[in-house]
Amino acid sequence: MNRLEALLADLDEDQKLAVMHGEGPLLVVAGAGSGKTRVLTYRIAALMELGLAQPHEILAVTFTNKAAREMAERVESLVRGSLRGGFVGTFHRFALQLLRNHAREARLPERFVIADEDEQRQILDRVFKKLEIPSTRLTPRAARSRISAAKNALLGPKELESRARGDSERLIAQLYAAYQDELRSAGAVDFDDMLLGAVSLLERHDVLRKSLISRFRWLLVDEYQDTNLAQARLVWLLGGKTPNLTAVGDEDQSIYRWRGAEVENILNFEAAYPTACIVTLGRNYRSAEPILRAAAAVIERNSRRRPKKLSSEVGSGAPVVVYLAADEADEARFVADEIGRLRGSVSAGEIAVLFRVNAQSRPFEAEMVRRAMPYVVVGGTRFWERKEVRDALAYLRLLVAPDDVLAFRRAIHVPARGIGQVAMDHLESAAGAWGVPLPEAARRLPEELTPRARLAVGEFNTLLVELRTLAAGAPAAEVVRQLLDRSGLAAQYGSEDEEDRARRANLDQLVAAAAEATERGLDLRGFLDEVALLTDADMRREGDAVQLSTLHAAKGLEFAAVFLVGMEDGLLPLRREGNGEADEEEERRLAYVGMTRAQRRLFLTFARVRRVNGQLLSGRPSPFLLDVPREVVEDRTAAAGRDPFRARAPQPTRRVAKPSDGFHEERFGPRTPDPGPRSSPRHPDGWRPGLKVRHATFGSGVILQVQGTDAQTRLVVFFDRTGRKTLIPSLAKLERC
DNA sequence: GCTTGCGGTATTTTT
DNA sequence: TACCGCAAGC
């Protein structure tokens, strides 16, 4: 059996079709657990075995560094060779590489820097001040995401402006333009600029584009359902006239719409690539039958998808367990009990607790601490975003790019060295007057500085010069170590309390990361570029501990047992102001992604009462939960006398006073705040949560909350059409209905 | 320029 | 409820 035959022996019929597809565009619609990664890696291996592709002709893009690394490793072990010369990495890394190699053509400074989210926000803060925009109108945070959305949709400030309808959109366009100016004058690009820049570079430089097309003959894109317009366009540009493009994805697992992902990219693949061949992988090798049936029942209600069926190759298994908890503590207790039971046969690392929002992790953590169960919270505060790490990185950036304004502004204040607002103002205005970057102005020590500030700035300059000299010769890790030492960054965290220890440990990790980068032949600048594109997922430790994770962070992973918790209407699907139908579909996909992470056991839980942001809310079961066919369910709640699936049955005519039982309440509004079992004072005017009302302009809605009495009365009402509003009933004409 | 306290706010976060 | 960011005081 030759190597190719050996490869094919591992595949089912559909997978073989995809792997052995020749030239031309190919879309692999890969349902959950259907061997998507296998197809991608085997395809690359097969193309090489067949002699169709040379390593340097391969361009494979993924969304995470981790996925890229795994892919490269798997291919290399399959072909027992190296992929050197080819590109296996993230979209952003590819774009960055392109821009670095062609900075001038891309109209970027030779040593442009990468602005992270923190710096984007700082820039926007400055822009807000400059344009005198009160942050009541729009938060810098919101502006950031609107600008990001525009960039992801390939719109420049001018295009956005010309499309703007209404003042607020024009304001965004104006902010965008000012933001972009500020960013450019700092010699920086943000994450979105990388993609945008790469696209416009290729659009403007045909020669470059053609050379890339002929070099990278084979394009492979993973998770195509989560590409945004810029990414799809980039792929399209790299494809040329006869693209040998393999796109792999599953529209049912598209969960990054809020970051610009366009499900349409995969749904309309044939429109972009009319000659495309489509292979659907329909066999699921991950989940037991009941799990798959439950998940299918949830996702089938979505309209924007290709209808498809997944058959379980795993076979039958335990039913899906549903549990209705009294509150979040009870939910955590139940989950911990079950985990305790499972751990007889499953290791902790094979178990995941998945939730919609990070804030939900608390009770589970508390419970697991109490029981001394090993657990890790995935995500949370991310390593590269920690203050101490960012501070050190700012220094490093200043070593590589002496005029990096963003890094300068950060580094000069940490540790505090007596340079305050006044001194900074002097430096800024001197920079303006001389027409030089801020760091350069600092080097020239403007006269306006007070003697004290002058001394401080001078010392800072000297420090940088010394470190820069060191950086010219020493390996990155040594530079980092010296820098931490001599800047006083490390000394800030000298105490023995937990926080300082953690910070020191993080700084040690940074040194280790630098050392490791040096081993891989990266210089300081390469290390910084890498770090800018790295995320926490890349640092994830594989330990034998229960994983507490958001649904988003669980994408692509699988576990023997999964607890999908907080399945309440309003939480999953998460509902907040102003999100509509499309988001509901995405929430459904999110639930689907969560459920299909499970191999053997799936538990769905929710709480009747949950404390959210300090408020007590009583929930009704998630509609997704009600979609699960009861014949695959084992309801553990029944023992406690509650039956979630009764909610589907007609409401009983006579209702016993069971005030907070979400199941048996009327089906109104998204979530009903619970006045609490003991304290439910009747409002004198008769307003109460749950009451349906009608407003002249907002239409019909339901009261979520009643605050205060008399003239102070405020009603929080959730309107069907416009979402949540707070009203003063004496002013707003509200009708009870 | 650093600390303390108040008020406003509150998703998801592949790069 | 809990955190973060900003504003006023030392």
pLDDT digits (tens, 9 = 90+) for A569-588: 888 888 776 555 558 899 99
Whether the pLDDT of residue A666 is over 60: the answer is: no
pTM (whole model) above 0.95: no
Q: Is A129 a catalytic residue?
A: no
Note the CA–C1' distance, A585 to B11, in angstroms. Answer: 16
- What mean pLDDT do residues A400-412 have? 88
**Is A136 (CB) below 7 Å from strand C?**
no
Tell me how many degrees the CA angle A181-A183-A185 measures, rounded to the nearest 5. 65
Q: From residue A617, how far is each of A460, A478, A569, A623, A717 by CA, in Å?
A: 53, 53, 11, 17, 14
Residues 146-205 of A with CB within 7 A of strand B = 191-192
Mean pLDDT to the nearest integer, A444-461: 87
Choose, from A217, A409, A597, A620, the residue flagged as catalytic: A597
Tell me the β-bridge partners of A194.
none
Q: Which pLDDT tens digit goes with each residue over A493-511?
A: 777 777 777 788 888 888 8
Separation CA A361–CA A358 (nearest Å):
6
Write out which nucleotides of chain B lie closer than 7 A to a protein Cβ. 1-2, 10-15
Average pLDDT over residues A679-707: 63
A125: CB within 7 A of chain C nucleic strand: yes
Please name the residue whose C-alpha is nearest to the C1' of nucleotide B11: A357
Q: What is the mean pLDDT of residues A201-230?
A: 96
Separation between Cα atoms, residue A85 and residue A530, nearest integer Å: 18
Which of the following is catalytic: A57, A76, A192, A223? A223
Question: Distance from residue A174 (CA) to nucleotide B14 (C1'), in Å?
Answer: 29
Q: Does any strand B atom come closer than 7 Å to the Cβ of A420?
A: yes
Q: Which nucleotide is nearest to A356 (CA to C1')?
A: B12
Residues 527-586 of A with CB under 7 A from strand C: none
Q: Is the CB of A611 under 7 A from strand C?
A: yes
**Residue nearest C2 (alpha carbon to C1'):** A613
Quote the Cα angle for A684-A685-A689, to 5°. 95
Percent of chain A with pLDDT over 90: 45
A554 touches strand B (CB under 7 A): no
C-beta pairs of A208-214 under 8 Å, 24+ apart in sequence: A208/A102, A208/A105, A209/A237, A209/A238, A210/A240, A212/A238, A213/A238, A213/A239, A213/A240, A214/A240
Between CA A159 and CA A71 the distance in angstroms is 38
In angstroms, rounded to a whole number, what is the distance separating the alpha carbons of residues A622 and A481?
A: 51
Distance CA(A329)–CA(A692), nearest Å, equals: 31
Stretch (H or E) spanning A561: strand A559-564
Residue A81 per-residue DSSP state: S
| Single-letter residue type at A328 | E
What distance in Å separates the CA atoms of residue A363 and residue A373, rounded to the nearest whole number? 13
Residue A736 identity = R
Any atom of strand C under 7 A from CB of A614? yes
Q: For residue A681, what pLDDT band results from cuts at 50, 70 and 90?
A: very low
Please name the residue that has the structure tokens 């699921």.
A284
Q: How confident is the model at residue A662 (pLDDT cuts 50, 70, 90)?
A: very low
A94 CB closer than 7 A to any strand B atom: no
Is A519 designated active site? Answer: no
Sheet holding A58-62, edge to edge: A87-90, A58-62, A218-221, A245-249, A26-30, A277-281
Residue A733 is predicted with a pLDDT of 65
Q: Reply yes or no on whether A597 is catalytic.
A: yes
Indicate the burial class of A34 (C-beta count within 10 angstroms; 0-12, 13-18, 19 or more): buried
Is A301 catalytic? The answer is: no
Per residue in A114-157, pLDDT tens?
A: 888 888 888 888 888 787 776 666 777 888 888 999 999 999 99
Structure tokens at A345: 């046969």
The 10s digit of each residue's pLDDT in A167-189 is 778 888 988 999 999 898 888 99
